[in-house]
Structure 1
Amino acid sequence: MRQEPAPLTRHLRVRQERGHTVLEFRGEIDLAAAAEIAPHLDRETGRPAARVVLDLSPIEFFDCSGLRLLYRARGRVLDRHGSVLLVCSHPLTLRVLRITGLSRLLPPHPTLDAALEQPQVTPRP
């Protein structure tokens, strides 16, 4: 039986899956949650050539504070020549991602398996 690691915070769980660091956001991601998540997110996205998956599957609510976290994580990973994938199937969050244009920068995958099956993309210089 596989044991899940304890969450770093009540809003973030980090685990390794198929060579990727999966950052699983949980519950309501608002200003307070973002402040709680940010230091952990920065630590995980600050590694050279990191392979990161931002998993929004367990979220219940996601506001502009969450969008800032995603954008920041993406920039930090790509600046260090890593790769970043997004998992999201929540209809309202998908709509916000589309409206803001973030879905063009981080195309959402419907499941973690779908994201991890993607071929590795060469990161930007």
Structure 2
Amino acid sequence: MAETHSVPARIHTVPTVSDRTVVALHGEIDLFAVGSLSARFDALTAEGHPDLVVDLSAVTFIDCSGLGMLCRARNRVTARHGRLRLVTDSPGLLRMLRPVGLAGVFEVCAELSDLVASPSGRPAHGLERRGAERPLPAKG
């Protein structure tokens, strides 16, 4: 049986303008990576009114456990009256959100520069508001 070599997930967090935090994920977001990534997201969403921008541009793979982690982070942010946005232009990821019922749930932008350049956090273009401020069903 052939061995597969995956690119381990990495996370890089950078505070930005107006208390927004950019969380850049890299590599594969799968069951093996979610534990450590979830701990970091829990810390970032623990208090206050978190304003997270999750940059998925360098993510090469995400499975259902990775989607679950993003849903948990969104629920925690929403419960604290914060905001979570995803940055991706991956047709595969966007297409994957539909059959699992997550299309329309996240705010999605194609370019990080659209979000970071704007002091209000609202890009001049490229952002699609998706989904109401409703919690996602908890899995467990």
Both structures adopt the same fold (TM-score exceeding 0.5):
yes
TM-score, structure 1 normalization: 0.81
Q: Give distance in 1, aligned partners of 2:99 and 2:28.
A: 20
C-alpha displacement of 1:85: 1.0
Residues 21-71 of structure 1: CA deviation (Å, up to 9, x unaligned): 111111011000111211111000112111111110110111111100110
Q: Say which SS state the counterpart of residue 56 (structure 1) adopts.
A: strand
Q: Give distance in 2, aligned partners of 1:101 and 1:107.
A: 14
Residue of structure 1 in register with 2:112 after alignment = 112
Residue of structure 2 in register with 1:80 after alignment = 80
Q: Give distance in 2, aligned partners of 1:55 and 1:98.
A: 19
Residue of structure 1 in register with 2:5 after alignment = none
Residue of structure 2 in register with 1:11 after alignment = 10
Q: Give distance in 1, aligned partners of 2:107 and 2:77.
A: 15
Q: Give distance in 2, aligned partners of 1:10 and 1:34.
A: 9
User: Would you say the 8 A contact 2:9–2:29 is kept in 1?
Assistant: no
Q: Say which SS state the counterpart of residue 49 (structure 1) adopts.
A: coil
Q: Gapped runs of 5+ residues in structure 1? A: 1-8
Over the matched positions of the two proteins, sequence identity in percent amounts to 35
TM-score, structure 2 normalization: 0.73
Q: Give distance in 2, aligned partners of 1:89 and 1:60.
A: 12
User: Would you say the 8 A contact 1:85–1:115 is kept in 2?
Assistant: no
User: Would you say the 8 A contact 1:25–1:56 is kept in 2?
Assistant: yes
Amino acid at match of 1:53: V
Change (3 A) 1:44 1:59: same
Q: Gapped runs of 5+ residues in structure 2? A: 1-7, 124-128, 135-140
Change (3 A) 1:102 1:124: closer
Q: Say which SS state the counterpart of residue 102 (structure 1) adopts.
A: coil
Amino acid at match of 1:104: G
Superposed, 1:1-125 pairs within 5 Å as 10-19=9-18, 20-116=20-116, 117=118, 118=122, 124=133
C-alpha displacement of 1:107: 2.8
Residue of structure 2 in register with 1:3 after alignment = none
Amino acid at match of 2:28: E
